[in-house]
Amino acid sequence: MLSHGLEYLAIPGPSVIPNRVLQAMHQPSPNIYAGHLGDVIKTVKKDLNTIAGSSGDVALYASNGHGVWEAALANIVMPGETVLFLATGQFAFHWAILARSLGIDAKIITFGNRATIDLDKVRDVLTRDSNHKIKAICVPHVDTATSVLNDINALRQTINELNHPALLCVDIIASLGSDRFEMDNWGVDVAVAACQKGLMTPAGLAFLFFGQKGAAARTQLNQVSAYWDWNIRASTDQIYASFFGTPPTQHLFGLRTALDMILYEEGLETVLYRHKVLAQTIWAALDAWRHPKGLRMTLPNSDIRSHAVTSIEAGSQNGARLQNWTTQNVGLTLGCGLGMAGNSDPECRDYFRIGHMGHVNGHMIMGALGAIDAGLKALDIPHAQGALDAAASVIAKATKYPNFVAHGNGHVHR
């Protein structure tokens, strides 16, 4: 009844795509052997490096995030070698399952669904690995299922303190362009990303960043799939070789426009600040709604919450009920819970997520929160009053005092 109008997909990827990105894609294919497209590829690589804080190489793939997971593994380890995965939610598990299907010995340390990496546990495992069998440590920067933000810099320090030679390989698919990531400064060797989250482009392009240590590891392998090989893709000037086949031209045009918007119109620092304020707006509403039988954020500690996605526990199948209600009644699609509950709730109906990465602004987030507030009332889900007030105050204060920080958050740079 009230759902006709602009639909809003507030799931943690694919994110909202700007009309300008869609329009930029709406072009006939250009020559794929010479001309303008070569410049687009070159500038896209340079700008991706800027957003990732990387001065190394970047290889492009016509794939989703799962594809670049495989690409990363194919360039750093051989079947039979050992990789350590650090799981703070679902995504390291799925990456590890993929690794096992390639014959890689995937070891997993799990930290549950509500906590960041415990560095002492990592230290234990690495200390016991005195023969340095672990070739790489794979970890998500942000786990999109739990919304946990891991401190990659601290992880690097721990690995360094132990003089362990493992490569540090980070999944920044959810975080790139939303949460601050500094590949060089944090000593990350390999990073994987994709275009459909913070980068606001339809799924289908993925990126593999690698520095000198990653490149050196690649040369130790005696066999690498030519399709996944990052060397060919990263070093060539030939358009056709950049994608090991026909390039996804329209996607590249879309991404070019998205990168223009992020880097040359809004500016990366402002983009990161916008994500921080919008995340805090959502957190303020959730704090205010709080009720013993109502909604709560799955992460009480704001220091380990991502600015890209928020995971919420709603109890008694209320996550699924709210999702259905907002989709059917007001045109807002919220993200489903993912892996948060065990066998008692395999479909995670007690949970939902709000995706707030990419092309979102104050009125969209206020609209989403207003829609959730209406849903809580319509479904008789217990909640306290004042959430929209609290949310509006965060936005108002952020515009008045650009340095305002509603919650203590160790990752704030502005």
Residues that bind ligand PLP (CB under 6 A): 13, 64-66, 91, 140, 142, 144, 171, 173-174, 194, 203
Q: Give the residue from 369, 335, 330 showing the smallest Cα distance to 6.
A: 330
- Give whichever of 205 and 395 is closer to ligand PLP, judged by the CB atom: 205
Q: What minimum distance in Å lies between the beta carbon of 243 and ligand PLP?
A: 17
CB of 376 to ligand PLP, least distance (A): 27
CB atoms within 10 A of CB 27: 11
Nearer of residues 171 and 373 to ligand PLP, judged by Cβ: 171
Shortest Å distance, C-beta 251 to ligand PLP: 13
- Residue among 284 and 336 whose Cβ is closer to ligand PLP: 336
Complete edge-to-edge strand list for the sheet that includes strand 82-87: 57-61, 206-210, 190-194, 167-171, 134-140, 82-87, 105-110
| Tokens 């879309």 found at | 254
Q: How far is the CB of 94 from ligand PLP (least distance, A)?
A: 7
CB of 65 to ligand PLP, least distance (A): 2
CB of 64 or CB of 311, closer to ligand PLP = 64
d(CA 235, CA 90): 33
Nearest approach in angstroms of CB 16 to ligand PLP is 15
Q: Which is nearer to ligand PLP, 166 or 194 (CB)?
A: 194
C-alpha dihedral sign at 328, 330, 335, 337: negative
Token pair, residue 115, equals 């906590």
Judged by CB, which is closer to ligand PLP: 67, or 319? Answer: 67
Q: Is 134 helix (H, G, I), strand (E, B) or coil?
A: strand
Tokens at residue 124, please?
């234990």
The least distance separating ligand PLP from the CB of residue 34, rounded to whole angstroms, comes to: 30
Concatenating the DSSP letter of every residue in 23-52 gives HHH-S----SSSSHHHHHHHHHHHHHHHHH
For ligand PLP, the closer CB: 173 or 234: 173
Coil, strand, or helix at residue 1?
coil
Residues 186 and 160: beta-carbon distance below 8 Å? no
Element (H, E) at 215: helix 212-220
Within 111-211, residue ranges assigned H as helices are 119-128, 152-161
Question: Under a CB-based contact definition with an 8 Å cutoff, are residues 282 and 356 in contact?
Answer: yes
Minimum CB separation of residue 143 from ligand PLP in Å reads 6
By beta-carbon distance, which residue lies closest to ligand PLP?
Answer: 65
d(CA 2, CA 143): 33
Which run of H or E residues covers position 371?
helix 362-378
User: Which CB sits closer to ligand PLP, 140 or 254?
Assistant: 140
The nearest distance, CB 104 to ligand PLP, in angstroms, is 17
Q: Name the amino acid, one letter, at 54.
A: S
Smallest gap from Cβ 176 to ligand PLP, in A, equals: 10
Q: What is the rounded CA–CA span in Å between residue 311 and residue 330?
A: 21
Nearer to ligand PLP, 181 or 230 (CB): 181
- Between 20 and 66, whose beta carbon lies closer to ligand PLP? 66
Q: 3-class SS at 149?
A: strand
Look at strands 309-313 and 351-355 and give their pairing. Answer: antiparallel
Strands ordered across the beta sheet of 332-336: 8-10, 332-336, 351-355, 309-313, 296-297
CB of 76 to ligand PLP, least distance (A): 17
Nearer to ligand PLP, 91 or 244 (CB): 91
Q: The tokens of 77 are what?
A: 């380890």
Q: How many Å apart are CA 327 and CA 8, to the nearest integer?
A: 9
